[in-house]
Amino acid sequence: MATAVPRGERGRPDGAGTGALGEDQLVGLLRTLLSGPAPGVALGAGDDAALVQIGSHLIVLTADMLVDGVHFERERVSAHDLGHKALTVNVSDVAAMGGSPRFALVSLGLPDDVASNWMVELYGGLRDAAAEYAVAVVGGDTTRADRVVISVALTGEVAAGRAVTRAGARPGDRVCVTGSLGAAAGGLWLSHASPAEVASALSAEWGRELLAALDRPVARVGEGQTLAAAGATAMMDVSDGLALDLSRLCRESGVGAAVRPADVPVAASLHGLERQAGVRPLDLALGGGDDYELLATLPSGAVDGVAAQLRERFGTPLTEIGEVRLEPGLVAVEADGSERPLEPAGWDPFGG
């Protein structure tokens, strides 16, 4: 649901404010207050997206709000990349349900000092992402605000019986993830490094790759549909960090999971950052947000087949990183077979 700024940058490292509620608590409050069966609602708040029925069509509805200083820094990111990302993160939520994105509404809050060419670039990024994902931007709202706020709502479709929520994982299922993890968190780390470190990193391919991962994420639409068709039992996108997001998936499914850290696919470009700054790639892969890879649970017999499909169709790897257990909670299983609790840490926009 959210994109990342490191905790120290958020001005609220202690979780104070908003009655000390974090994002998960607020989502819980929303679900309690607004829940109850309603006509046409197949799945309400709390997943990557909602599912509603219109006639015989299953519709996917999702929204994300990006705020300057919380999810991005206007001084650093290009307006084009920002527009592109604002749409892409919503597309990713639809992808995580196994759906196809169709129509977007874009609401913008704009401070007085935003120049019109910045707006033109932002819309250019939105337009490029819309073309890439076959989305039509059909409207929205514009208003004045103290800081740039970009609120996107996306409508998609999913074939009946093909929607995958967070709630279907069963003990014994395999935990799998597309692509590699941690590069966006590496880019975020770099974006806050010293000018000398940044300059040095950007002279290397790995440095440019890390920043590109942060600013120009890719939503896995075809991959999500393929995983859904292959019988994924639960699915979500990794937007707030693998450990936190997997803990959410497990909570919704009423299960736990064991993860083999040695098998987590760490972005290759992170090794450059490790060499330069000593940052551990696995920490970024487990705890960093903004990857937008898909996290899915699959019956054990389905993994090899769908992995081959994803490789052939999209060039996207699928890696098995653990398995679903009956017992709640996350554990890390080391190479020697020893187990330890895996902290569900990750990005929370309230820093709670």
Tell me the C-alpha distance between 105 and 280, whole Å.
Answer: 39
Q: Which residue among 6, 124, 171, 329 contacts a second copy (CB under 8 A)?
A: 124
Nearer to a second copy, 120 or 268 (CB): 120
Q: Which stretch binds a second copy (CB under 8 A): 116-124, 179-187, 191-199, 261-269?
A: 116-124
Q: Which residue among 54, 160, 196, 335 contacts a second copy (CB under 8 A)?
A: 54
Residue 21 exposed, middle or buried by CB count within 10 Å (0-12, 13-18, 19+): middle
Nearest to 235 by CA among 337, 93, 86, 50: 93
Q: Which stretch binds a second copy (CB under 8 A): 15-23, 213-221, 273-281, 291-299?
A: 15-23
Q: Which residue among 6, 7, 9, 27 contacts a second copy (CB under 8 A)?
A: 27
Please tell me whether residue 136 binds a second copy under the rule CB under 8 A. Answer: yes
E-strand stretches of 179-317: 234-238, 256-259, 293-298
Please tell me whether residue 218 binds a second copy under the rule CB under 8 A. Answer: no
Could you tell me which residues come within 8 angstroms of residue 39 by beta carbon, excluding any fewer than 6 positions away? none
Q: Which residue among 61, 185, 234, 296 contacts a second copy (CB under 8 A)?
A: 61
Nearest to 318 by CA among 263, 270, 272: 263
**Starting at the edge strand that comes first in sequence, how are the strands of the sheet with 50-54 ordered?**
41-43, 50-54, 57-67, 149-158, 100-110, 136-144
Q: Which stretch binds a second copy (CB under 8 A): 65-73, 224-232, 285-293, 305-313?
A: 65-73
Contact 163, 98 (CB under 8 A): yes
Q: Which residue among 6, 73, 78, 145 contacts a second copy (CB under 8 A)?
A: 145
Q: Which residue among 4, 87, 108, 286 contacts a second copy (CB under 8 A)?
A: 108
Please tell me whether residue 235 binds a second copy under the rule CB under 8 A. Answer: no
Pattern of binders to a second copy over 83-102, x per CB under 8 A? -------------------x
Please tell me whether residue 112 binds a second copy under the rule CB under 8 A. Answer: yes
Please tell me whether residue 338 binds a second copy under the rule CB under 8 A. Answer: no
Tell me the C-alpha distance between 296 and 178, whole Å.
Answer: 8
Could you tell me which residues come within 8 angstroms of residue 274 by beta carbon, excluding any fewer than 6 positions away? 280, 281
Q: Which of residues 152-181 bind a second copy (CB under 8 A)?
A: 153, 155, 157
Q: Which residue among 88, 92, 100, 151 contacts a second copy (CB under 8 A)?
A: 151
Amino acid present at 14:
D
